[in-house]
A and B are shown apart, each in its own frame.
Chain A
């Protein structure tokens, strides 16, 4: 029983990471109706930036915040420079651009930082927090950070004028322009936010999976599974999907199929959801009168 509880809680910790990355995918999907295959590599690259800053002697939390800021600007620049020119291109062209971005970021990271696996520090103490012996301090801290990010995003989208304008621009660009919303900038802002959320996910998972240019490939697959499970157009669903996939992967890996086959959980989930319920569990059914 103890071991089971331990696995569930550890699953929640990684699940939070999947949830963040899944949310980043959903944010870009809602605006562009495309899945950003480079989301994981963007997160990986910014995690390397955090590593550089910390190695250069910057304290952890300032480096964390600075990295998130850099990631935000980096996301905006990617949208403006790389994605904007193919805005009206056929789907396949955009998908190729995403894959190109993935390969470029991966190679550039390998070129600058080498493919040697590096350890990444955790800001949380080595001994368990609050005497909770089922979870390491880092796992608990990662859940806390993830929940804080998700709550901040919720408040931003739900209660601020810019958040409302971003939702409007994603679902009805024509009407948005007619009320004066600069739709192009809203899309860029979406990329910036998605990259920033990805950076947090990368920094939080790095102490667990260690830092290397391929660190996010498996994690992105879980995030895909999470986003699909929750419904690719549902931010709340993606978050719940993230936690569900995290727990499922951990428990199945530990007790049923073994750690070597863990990644197949994500693949089975992706195929299963697409076959049985393509809209996911929380993909909203929008009622429209015609």
Chain B
């Protein structure tokens, strides 16, 4: 198993946000966490990275990672594409990408990965020397995905990659995410409000409501669930 989560609780100060979430992911699979605003999806991703205080058990490839520092978790091969994209605004596009590979020692492979990332997102090559804060929202989202990819991760956590992007761009981005998943053999945990797009991409999905998993299953099962269809897919 790539990731096993059980009995996960998380809180911001005294405010409990997640109440005993559990799920599991196979290696190289894509899993979607669906749910409305405030359901606790972003907090779940933050909990996995040690960015909020948690209780419960998180295992990454069999090893317990709950309670570890964010830096250490990243070094294990979990790359987080955060809410708000997390761009280093005053650095150049290339510097942003090189920071993604900061913990890697294999210099030659990093250079090759830089070229590979530019292969997925040719626009970034054109913007290579540009201050990242001046990139468009879509470009910054591509940069965030690319920065995560530069870590050579085993697992990518993607927080609302469709946020603020035009529908056409969302489709393009999700196509690239699928290609990345297939070619780089990296697992993806996807948090999305755009349930239709997420279910098309993911193998499995979990529906989260007020900090609890209320429905779990393969994407096709979830898609055909009447309640999900009415509330999240809108038809």
Contacts and interface: CB of A to CB of B under 8 A. Distances in A.
Contacts of A168: 88, 91, 95, 99
Contacts, number: 77
Interface stretch (A63-71, A117-125, A171-179, A212-220): A171-179
Interface in B69-99: 69-71, 74-75, 79-80, 82, 86-91, 95, 98-99
B133 interface: yes
Given A168-B88, A168-B91, A175-B87, A180 B133 contact: no
Interface size bracket, A side: 20 to 34
Given A175-B82, A287-B134, A288-B133, A180 B49 contact: no
Contacts of A165: 99, 102
B135 A167 contact: no
Interface string A28-60: 000000000000000000000000000000000
B74 A175 contact: no
A158 to B, nearest CB: 10
Interface size bracket, B side: 20 to 34
A289 B49 contact: no
B10 to A, nearest CB: 17
A174 B133 contact: no
A179 B134 contact: no
B137 interface: yes
Max count, chain B CB within 10 A of own CB: residue among A165, A177, A180: A180
Contacts of A284: 90
Given A179-B100, A179-B147, A181-B71, A171 B134 contact: no
B151 interface: yes
Given A161-B102, A168-B99, A182 B135 contact: no
A198 to B, nearest CB: 25
B89 A171 contact: yes
Interface of A: 161, 164-165, 167-168, 171-172, 174-183, 284, 286-289
10 contacts: A164-B91, A171-B88, A171-B90, A172-B86, A174-B82, A177-B74, A178-B79, A179-B74, A182-B71, A287-B134
